[in-house]
Amino acid sequence: MARLLPGTRALRTLEAAARHLNFTRAADELGLTPAAVSHQIKEIEDQLGLVLFTRTSRTIRLTEAGTVLFDASADALDLLGRAVSRAQKLTRGTALLKVTLDAQFASKWLMRRVDDFRKRHTDIELRFDIAYEVRDFELDDIDVGIRFGAGKYPGLRTHRLFDNILIPVCSPSLLTSGPPLREPRDLFNHTLAHIEWSRQGVTWPNWRMWMAAAGINDFD
């Protein structure tokens, strides 16, 4: 006789409660009330005849049995999610292309080229996932990703699209009313703004790097 096991919803509740060790935070993540989370955990314990959490007035902790089921629940949910993603890709075939990219690249570069792509490929429907984090292609039902980085993504094939060309910019009025700007060193007489940004081993160039490329090594 097959043993009755908790359903997917119950496993999600167990996994969230065990990960947070806090029913209130688990409830916020799942869109439930803390009482509903506590009730579902009690139902799982009654169903399996196990004590999964030890509770005090201030804390909850996993029992040994709870730890075993927490690890198994996380693995099972991850495996199921990846299987669903693969099944969705098989079902929709090649008529739908899902692309993940960040909002800045989407608005400043890609969207101006979408109409031309659709004219060239009338049989392909595009869907966009706007996100900064790197997606899991096996879990998130994504076909293609565009990211700024060094292209080091284990298990994926990458293609370099293009390099960046960086130039100083300023208000036109500054050229007529401010200190003269005839050569790179003249920038020392102005207030300079830049962004400090690094991700996946790639650093967005700042003024020190730009000055060094221009042959100026005493920039502060």
Compute the distance between CA of residue 81 and CA of residue 99 in angstroms, rounded to an integer.
19
pLDDT above 80 for 183: yes
Token pair, residue 39, equals 């009730």
% of the chain beyond a pLDDT of 70: 95
Compute the distance between CA of residue 16 and CA of residue 20 in angstroms, rounded to an integer.
6
pLDDT value, residue 204: 81
pLDDT above 50 for 148: yes
In a 3-state reduction of DSSP, which class is residue 102?
A: coil
Compute the distance between CA of residue 208 and CA of residue 219 in angstroms, rounded to an integer.
6
Determine the CATH number of domain 93-146: 3.40.190.10
Q: Is the pTM here over 0.85, yes or no?
A: no
Report the side by side order of strands in the sheet with 96-101: 125-130, 96-101, 144-146
Domain segments of the chain as ranges: 8-88, 93-146, 172-213
Question: What does the pLDDT look like over 194-209, one tens digit per residue?
Answer: 888 877 677 888 898 8
pLDDT value, residue 94: 64
- State the CB neighbour count (10 A cutoff) for residue 29: 15
Q: What mean pLDDT value characterizes the chain?
A: 86
Strands 53-55 and 60-62: antiparallel
Rounded mean pLDDT, 158-181? 87
Beta-strand ranges (E) seen in 115-200 are: 125-130, 144-146, 198-199
pLDDT value, residue 1: 39
Question: What does the pLDDT look like over 55-107, one tens digit per residue?
Answer: 887 788 999 999 999 998 888 888 887 777 777 767 766 678 889 999 989 99
| Nearest Cα residue to 36 out of 66, 9, 8 | 9
Compute the distance between CA of residue 70 and CA of residue 41 in angstroms, rounded to an integer.
12
Higher pLDDT, 122 or 90: 122
Contacts of 146 (CB under 8 A, 6+ apart): 99, 100, 101, 102, 105, 110, 161
pLDDT value, residue 159: 92
pLDDT tier, 2 (very low <50, low <70, confident <90, very high otherwise): very low
Question: What does the pLDDT look like over 30-41, one tens digit per residue?
Answer: 999 989 999 999
- Which one is the CATH code of 8-88: 3.30.70.100, 3.40.30.10, 3.30.465.10, 1.10.10.10? 1.10.10.10
